[in-house]
Structure 1
Amino acid sequence: MIVKNTKLIASLSLLWPLISYADCNQFELTHNIDGERLWKDFSYLASDEMQGRKNQSSGSKLAQQFLVNRFSEIGLKSFSEDQKYRLPFRYETTFSHIDGVNIGGYLMGRTHPQQFIVISAHYDHIGTRGTKVFNGADDNASGVSAMLAIADKIAKQGSEYSIIFLATDAEEKGLYGSKAFVQNPPVELRQIKYNLNLDMLSQNQGKNRLYVSGARYHSPFKKVVAQAIDEAGLCLVNQHRRNQRGYSMAMGSDWRKASDHASFGKVDIPYLFVGVSEHAFYHTEKDTVETVDPEFFQAAVETSFNILRLMDKLPE
């Protein structure tokens, strides 16, 4: 997720009106994903070996190769045999350009094979500073490993729509990977039906809350979110970012621009955004695997999979 003035946001969000929640004291697992494999992928992506996965770094290249290998193991189709899941891009900025590599693959749907849902998660983070490694476990090794777990599930049971699994690069620099994807998609843009964006799924810090945002901008998603809340094994809260973190107050920030879903929203592709709220370890060297509750993380991934399943049931 993009760096923000977290101290200002935290202080201002205290002034924001409180919203009521369901009982969030406990959660339960449905075991509908492979928790052991999830944790293995998560731990490797957030390891010191990855060196914080900064865009264009050696750690980034290591993460890219890992994702290519996992996509191949799962059985995802590549958009190009030459590139083998790699979708390199150059994004022109006002005074320079950003180079990066998205990793993308897909599975064909049964009922609507020419209509696509994109499930996205950025794999880059902020790298190292001196001797400190910013592992980015929650941000966003969690979202990427969740996407891999969901891809593995879809590969086994199938889907109605075709599903694109997109690991984006250079999100931390300004959403450049997802911007490049929607500007030059591997399928026609009109074929992309929805986006499900996963960013920061693992840090509950005792709150046991996961948030899903975006339903207010696409009416059919309201039923999806309501059903997902009813079926969730944890406390799933609708529409979190502005209320929880004071986005509309702090420096003119807006949660709708906080992660890759913003790029899809800008080209009128409806999205749902799933994640936890900002926390004390956000963009610090303490965002490590050791600070994560494995059961909460698995429950969050299971809930994310269920949200995708409900999106996949929507009529064309």
Structure 2
Amino acid sequence: MRKILYLFGILLSLNACSPKINNTVVLDDLKELSSDKYEGRKTGTKGNDMAANFIIDKFKKVGLMSYHDNYKQPIEFKNKAGETIKGNNIVGYIKGKTDKVMVISAHYDHLGIKDGKVFNGADDDASGVTAVLAYADYFSKHQPKYTMIFVAFDAEEMGLQGSKYFVAHPPVNLKDIAININMDMIAHNDKNELYACGTFPFPNLKPFITSPNQKPNILFGHDDPKTGREDWTYQSDQGSFYAKNIPFIYFGVEDHKDYHKETDEFQNINQDFFVGAVNSILEVIKNIDKNYIAPNRIREDIIMN
């Protein structure tokens, strides 16, 4: 009996130490989503539609529920040339133990094809979308406290159009959205530095940003305009949530030599850094889900504007 209990204890210990994210799948998904077959994923193109379908298939596989037909929230807007552009946010959710909502997001569009060159955007932002897929898989197996909405936004590169539409036409009451966790460029940094932006306007979130992993080093900043450093607050989709006074944490890296270039390819990311970032951000999300108490902070005038 002692031997059986001893072996059972070993199995429990191994299970407790087992990785919560399948790192091989994470890398495979990033490689796939940033491949030439998606033609740079520019909003309104065939390649963008193919990327949307890849994400939808992943949402279906893990059993996410949908607010819209086949997970697609259609968006429509005018570009700078006055042309009408149509796209789709891809939205799925897991019902939590409360009706308060955490939105976990990244944008799946990129720059498309320019002068015959495919801009695949491996870091920008296939990396963030891949993380969203990994977290959808994880929380489908571990019911969260917060209801979690997983969103792959379209048309970020055209002025945050997808996220602007989402907060203007939310699938839940905007008052119930407690926080946005957004990821844009989390796979490419030679200094082992990942920034968590958002703790300057929302300092109560800082204690939750801890991780047992040392790769990457999570730094704070790029959210205080008084420092003179580049302020990222409105530079990705978290800006649309902040405009509604919704707390956010944005994870990203500083610009690198491949930013918005055709060389932003899978082979140029830092694979260990990326896998570490995905796992570290998961720990932060779990901390927030377990311990964060959302303030009653959205005013009616902000919601209506």
TM-score, scaled to structure 2: 0.85
Q: Secondary structure at the match of 1:51?
A: helix
TM-superposed CA distance for 1:273, in Å, is 0.3
Distance (Å, rounded) in 2 between the aligned partners of 1:231 and 1:142: 19
Report % sequence identity.
Answer: 38
Over aligned residues, Cα RMSD in angstroms? 2.1
**Do the aligned partners of 2:105 and 2:183 also contact (CA within 8 Å) in 1?**
yes
Which runs of 5 or more residues in structure 2 are unaligned?
1-16, 295-305
Distance 1:96 1:187, change over 3 A: same
Tell me which amino acid in the other structure corresponds to 2:255: E
Q: Distance in 2 between matches of 1:129 and 1:93?
A: 17
Question: Contact (CA 8 Å) 2:199, 2:223: kept in 1 or not?
Answer: no
Q: 1:240 to 1:231 in 2, by over 3 A?
A: farther
Q: Which residue of 1 aligns with 2:70?
A: 84
| Aligned residue pair count | 275
- 1:172 is paired with a residue whose SS is helix
Separation (CA, whole Å) in 1 of partners of 2:184 and 2:157: 11
1:105 maps to what in 2?
92
Q: TM-score, normalised by structure 1?
A: 0.82
Amino acid at match of 1:101: N
Given candidates 110, 121, 134, the residue that maps to 2:106 is 121
Question: What's the offset of the Cα at 1:230?
Answer: 6.2
Alpha-carbon displacement from aligned partner over 1:30-50 (angstroms, at most 9, x marks no partner): 833111111111111000001
In the TM superposition, structure 1's runs of 4+ consecutive aligned residues that sit over 6 Å from their partners are none
Q: Secondary structure at the match of 1:216?
A: coil
Quick one: structure 1 residues 92 and 50, their matched pair in 2 at CA, closer, same or farther if it must change by over 3 Å? closer
Distance 2:284 2:107 in 1: 19
Q: Is the CA contact 1:98–1:176 (under 8 Å) kept in the aligned structure 2?
A: no
Query: Any stretches of 5+ residues in structure 1 without a counterpart?
Result: 1-28, 249-253
Q: Which has the larger radius of gyration?
A: 2
Q: Is the 8 A contact 1:229 1:235 kept in 2?
A: no
The residue type paired with residue 50 of structure 2 is L
Aligned to 2:57: 69
Equivalent in the alignment of 1:202:
187
**How do residues 11-30 of structure 1 correspond to structure 2 at under 5 angstroms?**
none
* Higher RCO (C-alpha under 8 Å, 6+ residues apart): 1
- CA separation in 2, counterparts of 1:30 and 1:209? 25
Selected match of 1:235 from 217, 242, 246 = 217
- 1:59 maps to 47
Give the secondary-structure state (helix, strand or coil) at the position aligned to 1:210: strand
Partner of 2:280: 303
